[in-house]
Amino acid sequence: MADTAELGGCRTSSINNRRYLGNKYKLLPFITGVVERECRGIRTVADIFSGTGAVASAFQDRRLITNDLMYSNYICNFAWFGAQPYDQEKVVELVAGYNAAQTDEENYMTENFSDTYFSRADCARIGFIREDIERRCRRNELNFRERAILITSLLYAMDKIALTCGHYDAYRRGAVSGQPLELRVPLAPTDNDPGNQCFNEDANNLVKRISADLVYIDPPYNSRQYCDTYHLLENVARWEKPAVYGVARKMDRRALKSRYCTKDAVFAFETLVADIHARYILFSYNNMAAKGNGRSNAKLSDADILRILRTRGEVRVFSESYKAFSAGQSDIEDHAERLFLCICDDGEG
49 contacts ligand SAM (rule: CB under 6 A): yes
> Which of the stretches 61-69, 76-84, 103-111, 182-190 binds ligand SAM when contact is defined by CB under 6 A?
61-69
Q: How far apart are CA 248 and CA 236, in angstroms?
A: 15
User: How far apart, in Å, are the Cα atoms of 346 and each of 279, 281, 283, 349?
Assistant: 7, 12, 18, 9
CA 13, 102, 80: angle at the middle one, nearest 5? Answer: 20
What's the min distance (Å) between Cβ of 200 and ligand SAM? 9
Binding mask 14-33 for ligand SAM (x = CB under 6 A): ------x-xxx---------
What is residue 82's DSSP assignment? -
What's the min distance (Å) between Cβ of 106 and ligand SAM? 31
- Residue of the chain from 127, 186, 220, 292 that contacts ligand SAM (CB under 6 A): 220
285 contacts ligand SAM (rule: CB under 6 A): no
DSSP SS3 for 181 = coil
User: How far apart, in Å, are the Cα atoms of 63 and each of 45, 59, 194, 195, 330?
Assistant: 6, 8, 8, 6, 40
> What does the radius of gyration of the chain's CA atoms come to, in whole angstroms?
20
- Determine what percent of the chain falls in helix, strand and coil, rounding each to the nearest 5: 35, 15, 45
Residue of minimal Cβ distance to ligand SAM: 51
202 contacts ligand SAM (rule: CB under 6 A): yes
Binding mask 244-273 for ligand SAM (x = CB under 6 A): --------------x-x-------------
What's the min distance (Å) between Cβ of 238 and ligand SAM? 14
- Residue of the chain from 68, 159, 213, 337 that contacts ligand SAM (CB under 6 A): 68
10 contacts ligand SAM (rule: CB under 6 A): no
What's the min distance (Å) between Cβ of 187 and ligand SAM? 18
Evaluate the CA torsion angle 20, 173, 222, 316 in order and state its sign: positive
Q: How far is Cα of residue 129 from the mean position of the Cα atoms in its chain?
A: 22
Residue whose CB is less far from ligand SAM, 94 or 272:
272
Residue whose CB is less far from ligand SAM, 226 or 280:
226
Q: How far apart are CA 254 and CA 236, in angstroms?
A: 17
Beta-carbon-side half-sphere exposure of residue 310 (alpha carbons within 13 Å): 8
Residues interacting with ligand SAM, by CB under 6 A? 20, 22-24, 49-52, 54-55, 67-70, 73, 202-204, 218-220, 226, 258, 260
